[in-house]
Structure 1
Amino acid sequence: MSILNSFVKEYADKFFEKEEVFETGLVGDIKKVRARLLDDKFLPSFQLRSILDKQLRRARYPMEVAITGQFSSGKSTFLNALLSKNILPTGITPVTSKVNFLNYGEEYKLKITYYSGAQEFAPIDAISDFTDQRKDDMKDIKYLTLYAPMDILKDISFVDTPGLNSQSQSDTDTTRKVLRDVGGIIWLTLIDNAGKQSEAEVLEEYMEQFKNKSLCVLNQKDKFTQEQIETTTNYVRKKFSKYFSQVTPISAKMALESRAHHKDVLIQDEYEKFISEFKSDLKNNDVESLEFFENKFKEYKNTLSKINLEDSKDNAKLLDESNIQLVIDFINNTIRPQALESKEFAIKRDLLGICDILVSEYQNILSVYDSLIEILSSSENEILNALDAIHKKYSKELFNIYNSLETIMEKMAHETYKNIKTVKTHRYENKTGFLNKENYAKIEYNTYWIDSDNVYKNLFYDDQTIDKMFKKSIKNLKQIELNADESFRDVYRIIKSNVHRWQEPYELIKKNRDVASDAEFSTTRHFAAKVYENVLISYHRAILENISALRKKFAYFNGALSYSYIQTTQATIAHFEQQIAESVLLYEKEPTKFSVYHPREDEILTKLKANFGFEKIEDFLTSKRNYLFKIIKYSKEQYLEINKQRIEFVESKKGEYISKIEDLKEIKEEI
C-alpha cells in the first residue's frame, strides 16, 4: 500500500501542475505579477526579469527619508542624533558633496559606488575621505552607502544629500531626483537663517510639490530664547506653509548628546564592543574552550548593570528639550503611512507601465503581420487582372496562328482541287436488238483523277511555300509559349515585389524598449527574413505548376503541327481517289442512278482538316473556353485559394500575439 501511495504522489508531483501560492501584501502582489510576466510563453527578456526583481527589492526596501537643506545647516549632526552615534563627519565647512545612503547592515561598513560602475568597500571611519567636496578626486564618486547595525535603519533608510545650493550642478540635480523619489523629506535649516530670501527662492524652485511628505526642522534652538524660537517658528509656518506639513524647532546637538547617553544606546554600544572583541579573540587565538572569555563576560555584565543603575532623569530632560522625538513622531505618524501608500501606488503604477510597454511592443509586432495581410489582400485585384491580361493578349495571338493554319489548309485544298483532271473513258452497255440478239454498245463518259505529283510539286517541292508557312506558325507558337511563360512569371513577380517591399523594413525590426522580449522580435525578424519559405513559396510553386501544364499543351500542339503535312495531303488525295473509284463502279452498274464523283474544294478542305486533327487545333486556339482560358481560370482559382490560406496562416501567427496582449491586459486588471 505504501508503494502505491508513493507512486501516486510521485505521479501527481510530476504530471499535475501545482498552483503557486503568494503571500498577502505588496511583495506577494509583485511576485504574482512577476511570475505571470516571466511566463515562458512571453519569452521574457533579461531586462524585464531585472526590472521586476528591482521592483521586488524596492517593495522590501525600507522607507527612504531624505535629509536636505542648504549647506552648514547641521544635516550630519542631525542624522547622527537620529542614529544616536557620531557616524557622519561634521564641521563648519561644507563637506558633504555626495549623496549618502544610510542603510541597515550586520556590521559597520562603507560602500563607494563610482560613475564607472565600480564599487569598493572601506572602514566607516574613512567616510570623510569620500565626502569632502574640496578634494578633486571626489568627482568620480556617484554615491556612498553607509551600513550600520541599527534597528531604526531596518525600517527607515536615510538619504543625506549635498543640498540644493551645492557648488556642483550635478550634485544639485542628484538631490532634486532624490527628493522626487523618497517617501519623506526633512528640510533642515538654522533658526537664524530660516525664512531668508535665498532660502525662499530655493524652496520655491525645488520643494513646492512635496508639501505632504515634508517636515521643516529649525536647528540650533539651544542658541536662542524660547520667545525667539516661537517667533521664528510661527513666521516660518506662515511664510512656508505651502512647502511643509509641519515646522519643528530642534537642537541636534542636545539630541545627539542625550541619545548618545541613552541607556538603550549605551547598552547597544557595549554589546557591539563585546561581540567585536569576542570575534577578534576567536579569530586570533587558538582556543579549545570559552574559559578565556569568562572574565570579559563578567566585565560586560557589570558594565550593563552600572548603565541600568545610572540616573537618566537629566538625560531624558535633555532629550525632551531637544524636540528630536517630534521629528521621529512625524516620520512614524505622517511620513510612514503616506510613504507606504505612495510606494505601493508607485510600484503598481510602474508595473502597469511595464504591461503597457509590453502590450505596445506586441502591437508593433502585430503591425508587421497586419501589414503583410494588407499586402496579400490588396494584391488580389492586381494579380487577377494580370492573369486576365495574359488570356486577353495571347488569345489574340493564338487566333492569328489559327488564321495562318487555316490559310495553309485552304491553299492545300485549292491546289488539290486544281489538279483534279478529267479523263475520258468508256463503258459497255447491253442493248437488246431485233430478234432478241444481244448487242453491246460502247459508251464514252468522263471520269476524274488527281494529279498528286503535280500537287506535291506545286505545294512542297518547287518553292516550299507550305513548309515555310508551317515553320513560321510553329515558330510563332513557340514564341507565344515563351512569352506566356514569362507573363506567368511576371504575375509571381508582382506578388514577390509587393511582399519584398513589406519585408525590407521588418528584417531589421528591433524592440523600442529594453523590457520587451528579444526573442519575440528575433522571431519576427526571422519570419520576415524567411518570407519566401513562409509565404511566397506556395505562390511560386503554383505559377511553376501552371507554366508546366501550359508547356505540356504547347508541346502537344507543336507535335500536331509538326506532323507530316505531306502525308496528310497524301492521305487526303488517296481518300478522294478511293471515292472517285467507288463512284465509277456504281455509275457503270447503274448509270441512270449514279454519277461519277467529282470532289468539291470545300470537301477537300474539310477532309484535310480532319486528317490534320484541325478540330483539336481549333479548340486549342480559338474556342471561348480554349486551353489558355482553362489554365487562366484554374490559375485564378488556385491563386485565390492559396492567398486565402496564406492570409489565414499569417492570421494564425498574429493570433498568438493577440492572445499574449489579452493575457497582459488581464494581468493589468489584476494589478
Structure 2
Amino acid sequence: MSYDAHVMDKLRSNFELLRTVIRYSKHPDLKVDLSRIEDIIDRQIPETLQKNAPADFHVLFTNFKNEFEKFKDFILFDKLIGKNVVSLGGGFSSGKSSFLNALMNKRVLPADIDPSTSVPTYIVNGPEHQVQGINIFNTKIDLELKAIRQITHGFGKVDDQNEETLTDPVTLGHVMNSIFLTTPWHHYNHIAFLDTPGYSKADDKNHSAKTDEQIARTHLNSSQFILWFIQADAGTITEEDITFIRTLREDIPKLIIVNKADKKPEQDLREIIAKTKKVLTTKGIAYLDVLAFSNIQPDLYDSAAIRDQLDRWNVQVYESKFARNFKTIFIRCKQFYENEIEQESRRLNRLNKSRTLTDDPTIGECLDSLIMEITRSIAGLKAVNQALRQLQTDFFTELKFISDLAGITMPEPSEIELIQENLKNPLQLLRGYRQKKGLSSDNSAFHLLQATFSNINPVIAGCPGGSEYVNQLVDIIQSQCVIKQQDIHIQDECKASELYAEIFNTHLSLGE
C-alpha cells in the first residue's frame, strides 16, 4: 500500500513522538549520584526490618519510595526548586485540569481523559514554552507543547484523502511518570501547580496505577498547599473525599473549590457551600474556605477570592516537606519497636516475679525457658531498633549531601532528629474517648461558650481578615481568660481565625 506525502508526514511525526517518549538512557539526566541512597531504600531498610516490622510497614514503605520519586522530580527538573507546590486534588473528572486552563486562559492541559492515561503535570512560570517529561525508564525527554494532549488523548490516528482510517489512535500516558511545563501563561513566579490524576480505590472502575490512592496521597502530602475540587452537581463533598482528606497531612492548608458552579442556580450553590462547610467542620477537617468556580464563566462566582488566595501563597516563604515525610517511616517503626520492647519487658517482669514464688522444678524449668525466650526477643528488638536509628542517620546524611548538590533546602540530620509526627487533634481524642466510655456531653459547657460568643459572627475555619476581627478576639481572650493585652500575640488575621475556629469548634464537637 502506498501513501501520499501528507499521510507520510503524519506517520513520520507520530513515529518521532513515539521514539522520543519511549527513549531509554543508561545514564539518567541527574546532577548527583543516587546509588548510595537508593541502596539504603531498596536493600538496607527491607533487610533490617524483614523479620519483625509494623503491620502497616508495606504501606509506610510504599509511601516512602513514592516520596523519593517526588524528590527525584526536583532533581530532574530544577525549576521546581524553591517553588511552593500547589497540588490540585479531588476525584477523577472533578475539573482540575480545566481550572488550570482557565487560570492560564489557554486550553493547554487535556481534560476528560481515561484515568490510565493521566500524567501528573507540573506547571511553572518561564519566559518561553518548554515541555519535558520523565518516562518509566527515568529518562528525561524534551517534548513539544502539543505532545501533552497527544500523550494522554491519543495520537497516531491517520486518515487518507478519502477520510478512511489508516491507523487507530494510541495513548502513551502509561509510559510517562510526569510532565513538566514551563510557560509564560502561568503568572505565579513562586508557585508550581501540580495537576494530579485524581484518586481511586482498587475496586473503583476508574482505578489505575496512575490514580492509586497511595500515589495520589504522596503527591498531595509533598506539596505546600492543596486545592481540593468537588463537583457542584454532587450536592456536597462526598464521604469518599472526606475519608481520603483525613489521610492527608493536617498541617497543609487546604482550599476547597466547588467546581462547575455554572451547573447550579445561585441559591442552590450557596446551600451546597454552606453544607460542605458544615460537613467539614463536623468531621474535624481544617480548611481555609469553600469557594465556587466555573471554567465556563471564569470571571464569575468566587474567582477573585481564589486568585487572592493564590497571590498570598505566591509570596509565602518556601518550606520543604521532604524531611518530615521521609521521617514518617522512621517515627512509626521506632514507636512500634519501643511499644514491643515495653510489652515484652512487662511480660519478663511478671515471669521473674512468678519464678520467685515457686519451688516446683517443673514449673521453674518452664518459667526459665520463657524468661530466656523473652530476653532474647527483647535483645533482638533492641538490636533492630538500634540498626534502624543508624539507618536513619545514614539516610538523612546522604539526603543532605544530595540536596546540597542539587540546591534543595534540607535540614541538618541533627535537626531532622527533632521532627516528630503531628500530634493528634485533641477534639478527635476527646470524641473517641467519649464514645469508648459511653459518656454523654455536659451541655452546660455548650451553653457557657454559646453565651460567650453570642455577639460574634462565627466564621468556622475561615479567614475573614481585618483588624476589627483581631481586636474582637483579643477582647474576648482578655476578658474571659484574665490575660493582659500585651501578652496576647496574634501574628495575622488567618491565625486569629484559626484560633477562634478552634475555640468555637470545641463547643460544637463536645456538645454534639
TM-score under structure 2 normalisation? 0.42
Higher Cα Rg, which structure: 1
TM-score under structure 1 normalisation? 0.33
